[in-house]
Structure formats: C-alpha cells, structure tokens
Amino acid sequence: MKLKPEEVRLILARAKGKMLEARSRRPTPVVDRAIYASWNGMMISALLEAYKVLDLEGALDRALRALDLLLEKSYDPQKGMYHSLNDGKAEIEGLLDDQVFVAAALLDAFEVTGNARYFQLALGLTETTIRRFWDEQAGAFFDIAKDLSGHHGTLAMKRKPFQDSPTPAGNSVAALVLDRLATLAERPDFRAKAEAILCLFAAKAGDYGLFAATYGLALANHLRAPMEVVVVGNPLDPRTRALLRIAHETPRAGISVFFFDPEAVKTSPLPKGLAATLPNLPLDGIPVALVCVGTACRPPVKSPQALMETLRSDSV
C-alpha cells in the first residue's frame, strides 16, 4: 500500500481507539465472581497433582489456600459443603457434586501433607453426604439432598448423576472416594456402598462410552487391590524428595502416595488403615518408604532404586 511504518502505526492506533469507543457503548458482559465448591474442589485436586508430578511448590500453596478458604467459609459439619461463595457469604446447600469433589480434594491434600485434619474432614464430609444424599432403597446418591423440601432452584426432580458431562459424574467420584476411605479408615461399609453404586449402573455403563470414563476408573480401582506407598522423612531432605519422585512417577492408576513427617507419625492420630504399620517403621532419621498392596506390605526400603524395584514387582 506504499505506506511508511509510522503511518501504519498511526492508522492502527486510530482504529483501536475507534473500536474501544464503540465497545464502550455496549453493555459490559456480566462477570461471575462466585466461588463454587465443586469446581474449586476439582481445581485443588489438579493443582495437587501438578505439585506431585511437576514438583511445583506454588501449586501446593495455592491448592491448600483454596481448600482452607472453602473449609472456613463454605463448610458446615451438619450440612456439608455449600455450593457457592458470594462476597464471603455461603449460598445454596445440598448439591452432591460439591460434597464429593471437595471430599476427593481433602483426601488428595491428606496424601500430600500428612495433615490428619484433612483426613478427618474427608471422613466427616463423606458421612454427612451418605446421610443426606444416599438412596437407602436402591443405592447410589441423589444429586440433591433428600432433606430439602420443595424445588431446589431449577432442580425439580432428584436424579442420580452417572454421565460425565462435561465434569466427572457425582456417583462415580463418590465411588472413588468411598473406596479410598474404606482402605484408609478400615470402613467395609464404605466399600459396600461403592460396590452398590457400581452395580446399579453396570448394565448401562457400556452405552455411555467415553461419558462413563470416571465410572470405568472407579470400577477398575474397586476390583483390584489398592496400592499404597508411604514415604516418611524430613520434607527438606533430598532423599525424601527422591523417594516421593519415584512413587509419583509410577505408571499405575489409582495408586495412593502418602507423605508423613516423622514427628507426625509419632504424635498425630493416624487413620486406622495406617496406624498398624507406620509407627513400627525404622524411623532412625533416614527417609523410608513402605509399599503395600491390599493388606500385604513389602519390607520398608530407603533408596530410590530399591523403591523402584519394589514398585515394578508383580507381587507384594
């Protein structure tokens, strides 16, 4: 167009100014500034996974800050998680997704930090969810609490969410949480409820294909013995981080990797599923790892190579 560069810059600047002026006359789109428990629960779990796999300290800090905020502002021990926070005020109770996604995030936080508070809150929230959402007649969870009267916003009828669309289905996530807690807390009643969920939807699962992916993960985790790796050591010790890195890189779906500071093992209340083994580990100042599959455990190891060999073993 035979224009000089400075002429082009001037024309573009004028055009941008005209566009901005025109846009300013249009209504500004509404920005939803509510904080939703379910979506934050999923994001917290994702950040904790990023911390484990990518070793991102900032991801851990943000995840725990978000989780602690939800617990402070949106959690009621009798009702469970509220759905949203608006200007610091909790609003809308009684939705299943908020309960199960936050319960999963609490278990993820417990695995990473060894903080017994997160485990106890996950256990309490799950018990509240069973009390308020579980169908005692046919099994599985309703999407809204049974004790809510009348319509719940636009939800005129209780249903049992099974399809991943687009987020993981509430009942499938609940089955994953129940099985994790069944092992940690030694709660066979939780495992029975997870199985009831899986049985209820089994006949139709194949029809949903990709949209039953979370159900497939829950079924696989339920049918095979859970693998747990427990690493005990000073969090600042490079040897501790090396053991955790090997455990986190293990290519096995459903593996649980727990980290504990030695002092926490000695002084903090442990879940029943860990209390029988952890206090008996050789806590001599050297980081140690314990691998268990089901109820059988390998001898504890102290080197990354030994841990890698143990994890690669077919039988434990």
Three-state secondary structure call for residue 144? strand
- The fold for domain 35-223 equals Glycosyltransferase (1.50.10)
Q: What is the pLDDT of residue 154?
A: 58
Query: What would the mean pLDDT of 250-276 be, rounded to a whole number?
Result: 90
CATH 3.40.50.720 fits 227-312, yes or no: no
Please identify which residue in the block is written with the tokens 């008996």: 280
Instruction: Show me where the domains of the chain are located.
Output: 35-223, 227-312
Query: Based on the number of CB atoms within 10 Å of its own CB, is 38 exposed (0-12), middle (13-18) or buried (19 or more)?
Result: buried
Q: What phi, psi does 37 have (nearest 5°)? A: -65, -45
Query: Based on the number of CB atoms within 10 Å of its own CB, is 151 exposed (0-12), middle (13-18) or buried (19 or more)?
Result: exposed
Q: What is the pLDDT of residue 313?
A: 81
What is the pLDDT confidence band of residue 28, given thresholds at 50, 70 and 90? confident
Who wins on pLDDT, 196 or 166? 196
What is the pLDDT confidence band of residue 283, given thresholds at 50, 70 and 90? confident
Separation CA 149–CA 236 (nearest Å): 52
Residue 125, Cβ neighbours under 10 Å: how many? 22
What letter does residue 268 receive in the DSSP assignment?
S
Q: What is the pLDDT of residue 155?
A: 62
Q: What is the pLDDT of residues 141-191, one digit of tens each?
A: 999 999 986 555 556 688 999 999 889 999 999 999 999 999 999 999 999
Q: Which of 48, 156, 154 is nearest to 108 (CA)?
A: 48
Q: What angle do CA 279, 283, 289 make, to 5 degrees?
A: 85
Q: What is the pLDDT of residues 101-134, one digit of tens each?
A: 999 999 999 999 999 999 999 999 999 999 999 9
Alpha helices (H) along 83-169:
96-113, 116-133
Query: What would the mean pLDDT of 10-28 be, rounded to a whole number?
Result: 94
Q: What is the mean pLDDT of the chain?
A: 93
State pTM to two decimals: 0.88
Residue 76, Cβ neighbours under 10 Å: how many? 11
What letter does residue 186 receive in the DSSP assignment?
T
Separation CA 37–CA 59 (nearest Å): 18
What is the pLDDT confidence band of residue 280, given thresholds at 50, 70 and 90? confident
